[in-house]
Structure formats: C-alpha cells, structure tokens
Structure 1
Amino acid sequence: MKRAGVEIRRALASDWPAWAQLRRALWADCDTDLAELQQLLEEDASTVLLAFAQGQPVGLAEASLRHDYVNGTSSSPVGFLEGWYVIESLRGKGIGRALVAEVARWARAQGCSELASDTALDNAQAQAAHKASGFVETERVVYYCMGLDEPTE
C-alpha cells in the first residue's frame, strides 16, 4: 500500500536491518536477530509490517492472533497490535494510522472481528495515537509480581 509517499508492506527477511533498527527504537532493551524475524514471517498467526519513505524505514507494526482472553474484548481470536512505531520526525502525518489500518485488514483476513492493543498507563502520547487511530479505551490495569525465592510472611 502506498500513501502520501510512504510505502507500507509486509516485511521480508531481507528487511532485517530496517526491522531491527525500528524495533530497537521502540523497545530499547530488545535484542533482535534474523532468525527471530524469519520465525515471525513464517508464522500464520503473526505479521510484521514496515513503512518506508523515500526508501528509508520510518515505521513498524507487529501483530499477532491471540486466542486467550484479551482484556476488553469479547471474541476469539483477536488481532493484537504487539508493537507499533513511527520515527519521531514523521509522527502526526498519518503513517501510524496507515500501519494500524493494514494490521486491521490482516486481522480481518484471519477471521478476527476485533483488534486490540495496549500501552503503559503513563504513555499519554501512545494513548493519544491509539485514539487517533480508532481504538477505544476499554479498561486500565496495574500488574503486580511477587518474587518467590524467599517465603513471605
């Protein structure tokens, strides 16, 4: 798909450097390798989309099918936007919305009637981007964890 000089397409194994660069920008502590990308590309239950402007990588969307319960949804499977990123200098120009639209097309083709996503409670920018792309907030959750190395009393 091409929109306003931006091409959005499914990633190829040869896109590994661009994918890894965008993924690290989204998740700073993320180690990515070609084998991981190839695995995602081979799975029917996931998709990796890249956006390019003038041949340069500018955006990323990764999505999967979730068959377990997804907060705020009422169907299964649910398309789930696992990660979504547009380089800062091009935000607000519709690239993120176009990536979400392509993920929604993919999810519909997989038999989904809902697309879900999440973001951190303190990430107001991501929350605004989700709303601008058509998502509706369904609930807020705080997760907890307790280490089990030492007994608690």
Structure 2
Amino acid sequence: MIVRRATVADFPAWAEMLAALHGDIADFAAELPVFTALDQPYVGFIAFDGDAAIGMIDARERNFAEGAPNLRAAYVEDLWVAPSHRGRGIARLLLDAVEQWARDQGLEWLGSDALIDNEASHAWHRAAGFTEIERLVVFGKPLD
C-alpha cells in the first residue's frame, strides 16, 4: 500500500473516486485542473494497492474553518475509500498525509465535515482525533 500526493496523471482516477463519492453532480475530470491551479492551495492524496487507486482525500486551505484559532486553516473536502478496502486503516493513512501537508503549509488547524445523519463518519472523525465543533443546517436560494 502506498499513499502519495496526486499528480496530473492521477486526475482520471481521482475524478472517478470523487464521482463514486458524490454521484453525477459534476464533471470532476474537468474541475480538478482548475481546483489545483487556484491561488489557495488544493491538494489530493491517493492510496494505491499495487497499481489500483483505492482511496483518496483532498483538502484545501481556507480563510475560515469553524473552531480554528486563527483564520487560516486546512480543510478536508473529500475522503473516500473503495468499499472492498474499508476498515483497514487506509482513511487514516490518507488523513495523516493531509495533516503533514497542512503542517508543511504552516497551518495549525484541520477542519472537516460530515452530513448531519452520517453517524459512521462522525464516529470515524472522533476516532481520528477530531472534536465536533457545531451542528449546522445550510440554506441557500437562487438569486434570479
């Protein structure tokens, strides 16, 4: 098992895993080059079993994260592990890579979120050392 920072060559596998996590909501293959070129850092790490990509995590630097002691913080945007590889510590290895990246960026806080009813994710976050900061229901409306 290898966990390494994603490269341009990994974009197709990374996009496929994002689609597995989010469904058909976006063309991730087209968005990854844009996201990774933003001024605010956006990074992905991929877990491989041999040549097969079996998990990914991506994170970015944000100007705000709930609970952060200052305004700059790293934030986990997505985390996914292939169902056949879950429960083997792969998500934790991916998180370790993001934590090291964040430290290397001089960041002192790592935020993350989960859907309010995703108890499995809540339990994983607590086991990984996260503390629940707040519960939030987000609203939005189009401006015509």
Q: What TM-score, normalized by structure 2, do the two folds share?
A: 0.89
The answer as to whether partners of 1:12 and 1:41 remain within 8 angstroms in 2 is no
The answer as to whether partners of 2:18 and 2:28 remain within 8 angstroms in 1 is no
Deviation at 1:47, TM superposition (A): 0.6
1:21 aligns with 2:16: yes
Q: Distance in 2 between matches of 1:124 and 1:24?
A: 22
Q: What TM-score, normalized by structure 1, do the two folds share?
A: 0.84
1:88 aligns with 2:112: no
Q: Give the match for residue 57 of structure 2.
A: 61
The answer as to whether partners of 1:76 and 1:112 remain within 8 angstroms in 2 is no
Alignment deviations for residues 25-70 of structure 1 (CA, whole Å, 9 cap, x no partner) = 1111332354422233344611111111121011011100001x32
Q: Distance in 2 between matches of 1:144 and 1:37?
A: 26
From 73, 78, 92, give the equivalent of 1:78.
73
Distance 1:121 1:105, change over 3 A: same
From 34, 41, 45, give the equivalent of 1:45.
41
Q: Distance in 1 between matches of 2:26 and 2:118?
A: 22
Rg (Cα) greater in structure: 1
Mean Cα deviation higher: 25-34 or 132-141: 25-34
Q: What CA RMSD, in Å, does the superposition of the two structures yield over aligned residues?
A: 1.8
Distance 1:96 1:126, change over 3 A: same
The answer as to whether partners of 2:6 and 2:44 remain within 8 angstroms in 1 is yes
Alignment deviations for residues 95-144 of structure 1 (CA, whole Å, 9 cap, x no partner) = 00011111010011111101000011001111122122221111111122
The answer as to whether partners of 2:60 and 2:75 remain within 8 angstroms in 1 is yes
Unaligned 5+ runs, structure 1: 1-5
Mean Cα deviation higher: 70-79 or 107-116: 70-79
Equivalenced residue count is 143
SS in 2 for 1:129: helix
The answer as to whether partners of 1:13 and 1:34 remain within 8 angstroms in 2 is no
